[in-house]
């Protein structure tokens, strides 16, 4: 716990030291903001998303957790509300249904929030190797890992730069920097996330917005069981991390 506290203090110090550099090209006529800041986390009902939500809830942030399993989302939100001074909201939806994305803004408007931090954490992997997989399965992985992430970024990043404040955090993977036979689509989508994140970070430099990516290795979540990946080679080459550690 002491190590974690020290790490957070160092991160806060670095943030203050780099604040001027990040905001050096901001216009003088930034708009007044009359809504409260909120953290939007996709895939927030379990794994790394839920672990990150726990950290932010302890710090008092307002949160909106999005996922497909409504019961699990409500359970996580209720648990986090007990430890947080902020408001913990949840919204069950299939993000691959892009027509439903307006519901996010409807909820934010009704509650008086804006997305100050966007965590694109939702992600999928394929169960079968490319030659044997059904196209519908591969397409769904592409939709969630690339199109959903890109669509939400396109929806909220321009608003962040307009305010001169915000954070975008994309969930990538060590698989984003290496080929992945038998998980070729998943690894390739994470390569997109890495490249996309680095490109955007350069585009918004100096506009008050922080953009980063998490390149996690094997983590103890339900992800590997969903894709029958518990016997994959990387499980024997790398150690599993706990979500809270990531």
Residues of 164-185 as b/e, b for ≥16 C-beta within 10 angstroms?
Answer: bbbbbbbbbbbbbeeebebbbb
173 close to 215: Cβ distance less than 8 angstroms: yes
Which residue among 182, 186, 192, 240 is the active-site one?
A: 186
Listed residue (68, 78, 64) closest to 123, CA to CA: 68
d(CA 15, CA 22): 9
The sign of the torsion formed by the CA atoms of 130, 133, 136, 138 equals negative
Tell me whether residue 186 is one of the annotated catalytic residues: yes
DSSP 8-state symbol, 32: P
Q: Taking phi first (over 0 means left), then psi (-120 to 50 degrees means alpha), and beta for anything else, what does residue 92 get?
A: beta
The sign of the torsion formed by the CA atoms of 233, 239, 245, 246 equals negative
3-state secondary structure of 202: helix
The beta strand positions in 49-142, using DSSP E, are 63-67, 88-92, 113-120
Q: Which residues are catalytic?
A: 186
């Amino acid at each position: 716990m002491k190590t974690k506290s020290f790490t957070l203090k160092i991160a806060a110090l670095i943030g203050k030291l780099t604040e001027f550099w990040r905001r050096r090209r901001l216009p003088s006529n930034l708009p007044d903001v009359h809504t409260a800041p909120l953290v939007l986390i996709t895939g927030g009902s379990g794994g790394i998303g839920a672990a990150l939500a726990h950290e932010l809830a302890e710090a008092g942030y307002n949160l909106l957790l999005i996922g497909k399993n409504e019961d699990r989302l409500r359970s996580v939100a209720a648990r986090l509300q007990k430890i947080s001074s902020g408001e913990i909201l949840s919204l069950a939806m299939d993000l691959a249904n892009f027509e439903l994305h307006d519901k996010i803004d409807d909820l934010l408007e009704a509650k008086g929030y804006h997305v100050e931090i966007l965590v694109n954490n939702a992600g999928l992997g394929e169960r079968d190797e490319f030659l044997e997989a059904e196209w519908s399965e591969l397409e769904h992985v592409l939709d969630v890992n690339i199109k959903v992430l890109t669509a939400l970024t396109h929806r909220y990043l321009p608003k962040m730069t307009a305010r001169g404040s915000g954070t975008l955090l994309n969930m990538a993977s060590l698989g984003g920097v290496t080929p992945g036979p038998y998980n070729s689509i998943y690894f390739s989508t994470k390569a997109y996330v890495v490249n996309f994140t680095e490109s955007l970070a350069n585009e918004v430099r100096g506009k008050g917005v922080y953009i980063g990516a998490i390149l996690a290795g094997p983590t103890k979540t339900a992800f590997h069981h969903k894709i029958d990946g518990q016997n994959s080679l990387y499980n024997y080459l790398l150690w599993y991390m706990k979500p809270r550690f990531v």
